[in-house]
Amino acid sequence: MARVGMTAERLTTAAAELADEVGFENVTVSALARRFGVKDASLYSHIRNAQELRVRVALLALAELADRAADAVAGRSGKQALVAFANAYRDYAKRHPGRYAAGQLRLDAETAAASAGRRHTEMTRAILRGYEVPESEQVHAVRLLHSAFHGYVSLERSGGFDHSGEIESSWDRLLDVLDTTLRHWPA
Amino acid sequence: MARVGMTAERLTTAAAELADEVGFENVTVSALARRFGVKDASLYSHIRNAQELRVRVALLALAELADRAADAVAGRSGKQALVAFANAYRDYAKRHPGRYAAGQLRLDAETAAASAGRRHTEMTRAILRGYEVPESEQVHAVRLLHSAFHGYVSLERSGGFDHSGEIESSWDRLLDVLDTTLRHWPA
DNA sequence: TAGGTTTCCTAGAGGCATTAGGCAAATGAC
DNA sequence: GTCATTTGCCTAATGCCTCTAGGAAACCTA
């Protein structure tokens, strides 16, 4: 039986692509096997189980998002950096809905610690350098920003904003308001 | 064959309870059938399919959350109302993780319009009465609040805050900051 | 080339979702 | 109470998904 050259990395990449096409929840060992023209059982030479596949896609998504955000933020500071980061974040979610969803997977502590997730935090801290948020408040400011971005994108994706339109202007206003809030961080 | 008295409502309630126990994604027709001591196929006398079951649990969760929030907000205004609403929201998510997850299900436009989702929006608008956010900006302010609350709860649930502690103080600061932001809503 | 390792397959088991038809309980009409 | 109709549960079956174990062939190394 000729080998098709599957590797865990190839499977992961294909699963990520499939996630964007059919939704992360519909990425299955069976669907992936069909994509490679092999039988389901063949995949277990490369991945332990379906959960490992999901975790791999999640890690890939977190890394991609961090790269995109880093590119967008490079050379910018203050409001420009904030807006660039936020737009990279939302843009990624819109272009790669399945990967974005994968990035929300709950990971075990060890895996999470090794993921690109901490790069997101570091980048956000770097953005805060353009503002005068006290050191003791930085963890709170980081969480406010991540909550607002993720919350907006999440509600947008689940249709929470479908009835009232103005989605783009709400996003722009959100960024304005957050910028102002950071510039006048309350004591 | 004696009847166990299943109805769509009873199935929905049981599914919601099961969601909180094992996670919304693990609520299946099979698991529910086991809970009632009947065979899987018997449930189809009462529900059309698994998707209908999920939608029903989603609607139940949205309604419960709206009731909780309404109770919490009653008789309060300004920052107190904001904090009460937000705390009801997060509290519900913590006590009923499975139901909360169900509430995020993407619904078709008709179902969404008939759901308790709009009550959330109305309540938030009522909270804004305690602030001087211009009418034209209210949709943006509502979305900022919902994004922040949902984002925080969501990231908390998926372990995004596990590495740095201070989760309660970050929440309290978030509410302070949002209150201040509303009081000085930027033009 | 020989031998060891790895990858693909088959077979199978168990879980999940759903349909169709049968039988008995429950309900409604007289 | 009797009878007809409706409804709810079951069985049987189909198809999809996940995963294990063992076998055959491809691949790699010495």
Residue B187 has a pLDDT of 83
Bases of chain C within 7 A of a CB of the protein: 6-12, 15-26
Q: Which of residues 31-50 of B touch strand C (CB under 7 A)?
A: 31, 40-41, 44, 48-50
Spatial CA neighbour of B67 closest among B85, B82, B52, B90 = B85
Contact B148 A144 (CB under 8 A): yes
The answer to whether residue B163 scores a pLDDT higher than 90 is no
| B5 interfaces chain A, CB cutoff of 8 Å | no
Among A49-53, A114-118, B44-48, whose mean pLDDT is lowest? Answer: A114-118
DSSP readout, B113-130?
Answer: HHSTHHHHHHHHHHHHTT
Residue A72 tokens read as 């967008």
Instruction: Tell whether A40 is covered by a domain.
Output: no
Instruction: Tell whether B119 is covered by a domain.
Output: yes
The answer to whether residue A2 scores a pLDDT higher than 90 is no
Residue A1 has a pLDDT of 81
Instruction: Tell whether B41 is covered by a domain.
Output: no
Instruction: Tell whether A99 is covered by a domain.
Output: yes
Number of domains in chain A: 1
Q: What is the pLDDT of residues A100-144, one digit of tens each?
A: 999 999 999 899 988 999 999 999 999 999 999 999 999 999 999
What's the whole-number average pLDDT of chain B? 95
pLDDT mean over B122-134: 95
Residue A160 has a pLDDT of 86
Among A1-10, B52-61, B65-74, whose mean pLDDT is lowest? Answer: A1-10
Instruction: Tell whether B91 is covered by a domain.
Output: yes
pLDDT mean over B155-162: 88
CB A118 within 8 A of CB A70: no
pLDDT mean over A151-160: 92
Residue A159 has a pLDDT of 86
Determine which of B28, B142, B143 to mutate to test the interface with A (most A C-beta atoms within 10 Å): B143
> pLDDT tier at B145 (50, 70, 90 boundaries)?
very high
Q: CA-to-CA distance for A69 and A124, rounded, in angstroms?
A: 10
ipTM: 0.91
Instruction: Tell whether B7 is covered by a domain.
Output: no
CB A153 within 8 A of CB A90: yes
pLDDT mean over B132-138: 94
3-class secondary-structure state, position B46? coil
Instruction: Tell whether B82 is covered by a domain.
Output: yes
Residue range of the domain that includes B66: 58-183
Instruction: Tell whether A74 is covered by a domain.
Output: yes
Q: CA-to-CA distance for B103 and A18, rounded, in angstroms?
A: 26
Q: Which of B144, B150, B154 sits opposite A177 (nearest CB)?
A: B144
What CATH number corresponds to the domain at position B110?
1.10.357.10
Residue A165 has a pLDDT of 82
